[in-house]
């Protein structure tokens, strides 16, 4: 991974250097708010080997008896998994050992009805992911899917097709799993949801999907080696955090994560949760949005180029692609594209990125470029770790707790009041 700051004016950066290093120290020594949720920092080298082995064995069983694994979860129990699954799969015909289907990440009756119909002639298993077991969206989904699974296979076989990732000791889902005999895996107490893909939350469904979780963990380990050093000039996570805060205090209220490869679409969705839930507190925080180019250059590109100058871009660039295709000469040239003959589509895409960067920088939109070697489990894991260190440092620089999400609870209280849930009448 390389980070390029060429297209950002760094004249004021020295003013943020010490603040960034102090915030980094706060993160690493666990002296700040939210320190109870820093287990992800050392997780790449300090994880439970016994559970890791059980995850692999469970994944092998799922692969042996299921065409589909339904991953039931929301937020951090969904987005990290989906990001890696989508990035590493074939666009049109899945190359994975088990197809991952997602449920419990919304409350659409239409979606659930169609999912239940889809599963009727499939062999499938369930992985329900919830620390408490009472989070509304996954709890509703699990009710329907558990009933359908038991109807299809009978209660005895169904219990061997249900995998519960939940609290180690307590909670509604843990109690149910113990009562019914489901195999269980742990949602760690010291890792918040948006950081949890490094735990069983992400590792079990990804392993079942056929992704090499040893390589995935190796990417996190590589990230830990690079981004936990108190070295401003050589630790891009600290420098990126400082530059984000510099731009924020200079009136840039929005950060746009840009990709030119659709496989990275859900990486951006995970990134938005990571930064929005971590920084959006106490009236503070950059607003994280994303665009998928060159598609969005024909829509949101207009706003970025000529709209209000309150944003900057962070561009994800892939250096090496697995596949490419060359544009051939056409004898009639009715589309006028013969000037591209002999060039590949990825070359054209790269020039679109370069041209857009030039145009946006000319339009007073600072651009940070993050270059990843390829789209692989290891590379993406390192990218995740880079962003996680960044958001911790950046949040502490803003003076907020980057590891809680109090605002998320308010919508739940109002929803429960409207639904008539006992105890919420006066919210």
117 CB burial (10 A radius; 0-12, 13-18, 19+): exposed
Buried b (16+ CB within 10 A) or exposed e, 121-145: eeebbbbbbbbebebebbbbbbebb
Catalytic positions are: 277, 412
C-alpha–C-alpha distance, residues 122 and 138, integer Å: 21
């Amino acid at each position: 991974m390389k980070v390029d700051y060429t297209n950002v004016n760094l004249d004021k950066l020295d003013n943020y250097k010490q603040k960034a290093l102090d915030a980094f120290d706060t993160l690493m020594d666990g002296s700040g708010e939210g320190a109870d949720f820093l287990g992800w920092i050392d997780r790449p080298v300090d994880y439970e080997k016994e559970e890791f082995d059980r995850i692999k064995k469970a994944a092998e069983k799922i692969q042996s008896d299921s065409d589909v694994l339904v991953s039931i979860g929301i937020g951090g129990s969904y987005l990290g998994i989906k990001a890696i699954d989508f990035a590493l799969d074939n666009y049109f015909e899945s190359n994975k050992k088990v197809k991952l289907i997602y449920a419990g990440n919304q409350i659409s009756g239409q979606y659930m009805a169609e999912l239940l119909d889809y599963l009727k002639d499939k062999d499938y298993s369930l992985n329900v992911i919830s620390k408490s077991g009472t989070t509304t969206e996954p709890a509703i989904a699990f009710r329907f899917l558990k009933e359908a699974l038991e109807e299809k296979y009978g209660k005895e076989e169904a219990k061997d097709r249900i995998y519960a990732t939940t609290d180690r000791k307590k909670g509604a889902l843990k109690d149910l799993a113990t009562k019914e005999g489901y195999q269980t895996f742990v949602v760690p107490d010291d890792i918040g949801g948006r950081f949890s893909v490094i735990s069983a939350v992400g590792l079990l469904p990804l392993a079942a999907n056929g992704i090499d979780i040893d390589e995935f963990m190796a990417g996190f380990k590589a990230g830990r080696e690079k981004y936990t050093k108190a070295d401003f000039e050589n630790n891009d996570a600290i420098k990126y955090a400082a530059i984000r805060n510099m731009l924020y205090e200079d009136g840039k209220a929005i950060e746009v994560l840009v990709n030119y490869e659709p496989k990275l679409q859900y990486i951006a969705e995970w990134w938005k949760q990571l930064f929005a839930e971590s920084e959006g507190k106490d009236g503070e925080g950059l607003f994280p949005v994303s665009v998928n180019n060159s598609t969005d250059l024909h829509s949101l590109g207009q706003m970025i180029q000529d709209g209000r100058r309150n944003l900057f871009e962070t561009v994800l660039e892939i250096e090496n692609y697995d596949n490419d295709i060359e544009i051939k000469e056409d004898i009639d040239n009715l589309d006028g594209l013969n000037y591209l003959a002999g060039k590949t589509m990825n070359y054209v895409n790269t020039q679109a990125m370069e041209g857009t960067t030039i145009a946006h920088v000319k339009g007073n939109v600072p651009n940070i470029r993050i270059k990843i070697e390829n789209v692989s489990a290891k590379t993406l894991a390192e990218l995740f770790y880079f962003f996680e260190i960044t958001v911790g440092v950046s949040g502490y620089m803003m003076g907020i707790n980057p590891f809680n999400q109090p605002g998320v609870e308010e919508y739940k209280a109002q929803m429960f009041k409207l639904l008539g849930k006992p105890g919420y009448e006066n919210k």
